[in-house]
Structure 1
Amino acid sequence: MIAPGFADVESQIWIWMMAMIRPGAAMVVTPVFGAANVPVQIRIILAFMIGLVATNTVSFDLPSDTAISLSNTIFVLGEVLVGVAIGFALQLGFSSVLIAGETISNAMGLGFASMADPQTGQSTPVIGQFLMILATLLLLAIDGHLMLLATIVQSYSALPPGYAFLGPELLMDMVEFGGTLFAMGLLIALPVGGALILIQFIMGFLARTAPALNLFAVGIPVTITAGLVALAVTAPIIADTIVRSLGMGLSQAALVGGGG
């Protein structure tokens, strides 16, 4: 016989498990938490802890049907959709850095030099890998990971479990925000890209004035050197633009967590 004090333990555990679906789905797609080198056990523990906090901020009832039923399926799908939308909003702002890195690498002639990205497990250009590391450090420096966790917890009040459905206007906002991803990536790459375009104009002028000059032997070292110097000089400007992009991602995640 179960002791009276433990009579509702099973139902409470089910509530915790259902509450951890939303943060668990967000951590799969969000930067830092969703990195390939982060153990799954860490994500499960964090999702469970967030679920504990969420159950103290809002109360909700589980579907009364069996585990495999239409109401339970809709409940789980709604939680997964909201969690993925919150994490994906921040991921969009974070991915603009990767676009900037690929743009700068191709302009410098380093598009062939790739490294394994621990965030995604895919190969990325070396400049893109450098900017991804910089963006990760900036995200942690501005407490972006804590803002994301706070957004997930606050979303339980605006979108209670069982009623977590995103409207068409909010989905359209997500699509439009995804369009700004490319604009922010080009804006991050603009300082270095502008300097490299000027170098290309100079090299083209030299090619016309000195046809005997071997541009492959001179142009590539000059372009790489100028790109590295420009990257070092414009690092503060690039960092400010990355923070702006991350802030846009966090704002969009908060908009999704607040139900639009």
Structure 2
Amino acid sequence: MLSLTSVQISAFIGTFWWPFCRIMGAFMIMPFLGNNYIPVTVRILLAVSISALIAPLLPPVPQVDAISFQALILAVEQLLVGFMLALFLSIMIHVMTLFGAMMSMQMGLSMAVMNDPSSGGSNPLLGLWFMLYGTLLFLALDGHLVAIGVLVDSFKLWPIGMGVFELPLMSLIARFAWIFAAAFMLALPAILAMLVVNLTFGVLSRAAPSLNVFALGFPMSMLMGLLCVFFSFSGLPSRYSDLCLDALSAMYQFIGGAI
């Protein structure tokens, strides 16, 4: 007759439960998978499937009672590790949102705001458009598959039970400064072009005070902004692929991986 002890049952549950917590923590905010349009059931089933596939390949997990307070702490740690890993990718996607917001301000479209149900807030129209473009480009580059691969490798590079505070948290905080630098780098050509347009109309307003510069300047700024948006798509995929590679590399190095 088959008999199992509580220790064996706890070990069996922990083999699947700890990887599930880390993967589910990443799927909460990972681009596309963390979107509110993706049902929670799909995310849970995907996390359970990946956990079941990689469980036999993982290093030994800590032997902790599944219903103890220590097990709760360990589950929270795995959620935080997965959350922080996926945060690198979430910051990368929001580079495009900030890029669109900068262009909207220069074009005079900052008042054109669209409600975004996926984030629960309001974003500039171009910001939402570029965010969708960045998400599709990330999927086209198979970035989601690379991210899941890094997440699976994290169990070997940063085994379960290593804790959270030993991670290089300052590198994660530095990414919040990186988002502004990356968005400004993408928007710099359009900002300079719009600055030339605004300077031109400033000179016209001084040379011909009777000219209604506001009636003429707004549509011209809008037209120049649309041209900047059109021409920005020529070099945006290559630059954004570099940003994706940088974000995935930072995500891999965060858990002790060597590039």
Superposed displacement of residue 66, structure 1? 5.3
Match of 1:77 in 2: 76
Note closer, same or farther for the CA distance 1:66–1:19 as it changes in structure 2 (3 Å cut).
closer
Q: Over aligned residues, Cα RMSD in angstroms? A: 2.2
SS of the residue 1:124 aligns to: strand
The one of 185, 188, 195 equivalent to 2:186 is 188
**Structure 1 stretch 197-206 or stretch 112-121: which is displaced more?**
112-121
SS of the residue 2:101 aligns to: helix
Higher RCO, 1 vs 2 (CA within 8 Å, ≥6 residues apart): 1
Note closer, same or farther for the CA distance 1:66–1:86 as it changes in structure 2 (3 Å cut).
closer
Q: Is contact 1:20–1:48 with CA below 8 Å preserved after alignment? A: yes
Q: Match for 2:51: what amino acid?
A: G
Note closer, same or farther for the CA distance 1:36–1:45 as it changes in structure 2 (3 Å cut).
same
Match of 2:251 in 1: 253
Superposed displacement of residue 191, structure 1? 1.9
Q: Match for 2:37: what amino acid?
A: N
Distance in 2, matches of 1:241 and 1:66, equals: 47
Superposed displacement of residue 119, structure 1? 4.1
Match of 1:110 in 2: 109
SS of the residue 2:110 aligns to: coil
The one of 212, 218, 237 equivalent to 2:235 is 237
Q: After superposition, give the CA deviation of every residue in 1:133-155 in whole Å (9 maximum; x if it has no partner).
A: 11011101110000110011000
Q: Match for 2:156: what amino acid?
A: S
Q: Is contact 1:108–1:196 with CA below 8 Å preserved after alignment? A: yes
Q: Is contact 1:27–1:33 with CA below 8 Å preserved after alignment? A: yes
Note closer, same or farther for the CA distance 1:10–1:2 as it changes in structure 2 (3 Å cut).
farther
Distance in 2, matches of 1:110 and 1:224, equals: 8
Superposed displacement of residue 174, structure 1? 1.2
SS of the residue 2:34 aligns to: coil
Runs of 5+ unmatched residues, structure 1: none
Q: Is contact 1:93–1:248 with CA below 8 Å preserved after alignment? A: no
Match of 1:54 in 2: 54
Q: Is contact 1:158–1:259 with CA below 8 Å preserved after alignment? A: yes
Superposed displacement of residue 118, structure 1? 5.0
Note closer, same or farther for the CA distance 1:118–1:258 as it changes in structure 2 (3 Å cut).
farther
Superposed displacement of residue 2, structure 1? 6.0
Note closer, same or farther for the CA distance 1:151–1:95 as it changes in structure 2 (3 Å cut).
same
Q: Match for 2:28: what amino acid?
A: V
Distance in 1, matches of 2:10 and 2:41, equals: 22
* Aligned residues between the structures: 255
Distance in 2, matches of 1:116 and 1:87, equals: 24
Superposed displacement of residue 15, structure 1? 2.5
Q: Match for 1:24: what amino acid?
A: M
Distance in 1, matches of 2:71 and 2:10, equals: 17
Distance in 2, matches of 1:57 and 1:158, equals: 13
**Structure 1 stretch 43-52 or stretch 150-159: which is displaced more?**
43-52
Q: Is contact 1:91–1:249 with CA below 8 Å preserved after alignment? A: no
Superposed displacement of residue 22, structure 1? 0.4
Superposed displacement of residue 68, structure 1? 3.3
SS of the residue 2:28 aligns to: helix
The answer to whether the aligner puts 1:21 opposite 2:26 as a matched pair is no
Q: Match for 2:94: what amino acid?
A: S
TM-score, normalising length: structure 1: 0.90
Q: Is contact 1:94–1:245 with CA below 8 Å preserved after alignment? A: no
Q: Is contact 1:32–1:119 with CA below 8 Å preserved after alignment? A: no
